[in-house]
Chain A
Amino acid sequence: MKRSFTILLALVLALSLVLAACQPKAPAATETSGGESGGETTAKTQTLVIGFTASQTGKYNVSSGRQVNGLNLWMKQINEAGGIKLSDGTVVTFKAVSYDDESNKDRVQELYTRLATEDNADLLISPYSSGLTAAAAVIAEQYGKVMLTTGAASDATYKQGYTKVFQMYTPASRYLTGAVDLLAKTDPSVKKVAFVYENSKFSTAVVEAAKEYAASKGYDVVLFEGYDPETTDFGPFINKIQDAGAEAILGGGHFQDGSAFARQLYEKNVPVKFVTLLVAPPEPDFADLGDAAVGIIGPSQWEPLAAFKPDFGPTGKEFEDAYMAAYSEEPSYHSAGGYAAGLVLEKAIRDADSTDPDAIKAALDNMDLTLFFGKIKFDTSPEAHGLQIGHSMIYIQWQKDGDKLGKQVVWPEDGATAEVLYPLH
């Protein structure tokens, strides 16, 4: 037995060595450009290098791929339009340098260091996900590079004293606060709220902030309980919700648990007036629940049908059409976030009328605009510099138009496409 174990261990070690030997010596960079050679300044043309990593492999590859598609679409459009013309006559174009981070934090730190030092990236865009972004932000700050983060909702990264990292997404702490506002506006008589949420870092951070916000608005939080990510049977939670007399439910976590929760609430005829769940409702597959989906609300960073009136860049419809033409698929909010990050950089360079990093940073600090993606404004306080304070989540609700089930934007009011369906029961 012991001998077999030793042989097995030796085999595993040998295999590890072989795999280690097969690792590429240096990462291969991907360059995307519509402009001239990188980093060089000719008399009237300057090409800025935008560096980032993409999760071409690993668990984030789908979301990251869409984010990069959005960014590349913006870059292609701006370069094809002749770049940005500054008042001194300089034409600014862009070139992307990116690497595969394998959805791995260690790779991110190594590659962002490379982008900052060897590739001389002028500006950085974050990888996808809060975890990878936190790893990249340290490097951006260390090398004094302006970095826009997209696909990263965690608040913590912006509370480290960084000065050059700017967030595009609504932070986790405000993911569900809009739902509280929507409920307050729709029915001020509702007082009892239940929070039932997935026990994960993200969901817990979201509901803790929402609970605090709800309590500050005078709500009575009658139930605050987490469930394991693998939970499929919500019977015990539903019984508790009914026992507590909750009138509204907020929470959820991911697709599987959120859709199971919604379905079981419907099957048990739970007499609540308002249900908002994280992540699951904006997904198109949520429609598979049929009648159980009707009335369920969910927050999303962006939805194609949101009716914002942008004061810079394309409308949502123009972006959607361009994206469909380029990639033959509907843009997700990850795609929109990537494109919007490019637009924000473009606006900052236009406002600064310069490519000087300090001037761009100052322009970002002063930014207050509305894009197709929503409002963009950054916190400039030393405690949370770069935290997104303008953008709010869009709240969609599944509604029926005749027999047809579809999503409608019900909050915020300036992006709404329909009145909220209320009460559920």
Chain B
Amino acid sequence: MDFILASLADGLLLGFIYGIAAMGLTLIWGVMNVINLAHGPIIALGMFTVYLLFTFLGIPPYLGVLLAAVFGLLLGIVIYVIAVQRVIDAPHLSSLLATFSVNMIIIGIGTAIFSTSPRNIDLQLWSISLGPVTLQGTRVVASFIAVLVTAGLYYFLYRTRQGKYIRAVANNRAAAELVGIPSNRVLALSFGIGAMLATIAGALIATFLPFNILAGGTYELKSFVIGVLGGLGNPVGALVGGLILGLLEGIVPTFTQTTWVPVIEFVLFVIILLVRPNGLFGAKQ
């Protein structure tokens, strides 16, 4: 029982981070029907932003997360303007290839500059022991920030004018344009926010796990599973999907070999696609 409790706690903490990583991917899909294949490398860039700021400028990692968010937002807008904007109305294959090209460019440049050697941020916080469960401070803080970011995103989307524009464009771009919403600017902002969520997720992961420039790939794949689980285009569904996946990763190793975790995850992915293609919580329309 102690073992299961400890595993559940670990899974839950990780689930929050998975949730915001997936939220970035799912937001972009929901607003502009683009599968962002550069999501993984953008997560990795978030990791490196915090790492470089901490290692070379001594900026505290949690302040680095904030700067990584700003960097992600700007990077997303730049990627949208350069690579996505022109193919947004083309068939899906065009936007897939465009974002895949961005993926290859970031990985190529990143490998040339940083190599694929592992990096670590030497940040050690307190640990809390609650009976059999030991919670690492870095993971607790990261989960707390993830919850704050989710709440902030929710507030932004539902309570601000820009957020309402984004939801309007997601629902019906032509109608939104008819009522005077500048859809291109809104799409650029949406892509920027999607990338921002990816860099925040990467920055938080870097505070407690080692990484290299290829490390984002794993979280990109998980984001797809979570997106399908929670419903592509549904940010709240993404957070719940992230928590489900985290709990699954915590609980599966308690009764079988840990190497079975990805097998079970992707079997689930296929089953949800077949049975509930809109996800457990329905895709955002």
Contact = CB atoms under 8 A, between A and B. Distances in A.
Interface string A206-229: 000000000000000000011110
A267 B122 CA distance: 12
A233 B7 CA distance: 12
Nearest to B118: A256
A232 B3 CA distance: 20
Contact of B3 (A230, A240, A267, A289): A240
B258 A239 contact: no
Nearest to A255: B118
Contacts of A232: 209-211, 215, 218
Contacts of B258: 225, 227, 236-237, 240
Interface string B143-179: 0000000000000000000000000000000000000
A2 interface: no
Given A239-B10, A242-B6, A290-B122, A233 B209 contact: yes
Interface in A118-162: none
Interface string A263-305: 1100111000000000000000000111110000000000000
B220 interface: no
Contacts, number: 77
Interface in B107-142: 118, 120, 122, 124, 127, 129, 134, 136, 138
A253 to B, nearest CB: 12
Interface stretch (B61-69, B234-242, B249-257): B249-257
B134 A259 contact: no
Contacts of A263: 120, 210
A46 to B, nearest CB: 46
A235 interface: yes
B221 to A, nearest CB: 11
Contact of A259 (B120, B249, B253): B120
Interface of B: 2-3, 6-7, 10, 14, 118, 120, 122, 124, 127, 129, 134, 136, 138, 208-212, 215, 218, 249-250, 253-254, 257-259, 261-262
10 contacts: A230-B218, A236-B10, A237-B258, A239-B6, A256-B210, A259-B120, A259-B210, A260-B210, A289-B122, A291-B124
Given A242-B3, A267-B138, 19 more contacts: A227-B258, A228-B262, A232-B209, A232-B215, A236-B258, A236-B261, A237-B258, A239-B6, A239-B253, A239-B254, A240-B254, A240-B258, A242-B6, A267-B127, A267-B208, A268-B134, A269-B127, A269-B134, A288-B122
Interface of A: 199, 225-228, 230, 232-233, 235-237, 239-240, 242-243, 255-256, 259-260, 263-264, 267-269, 288-292
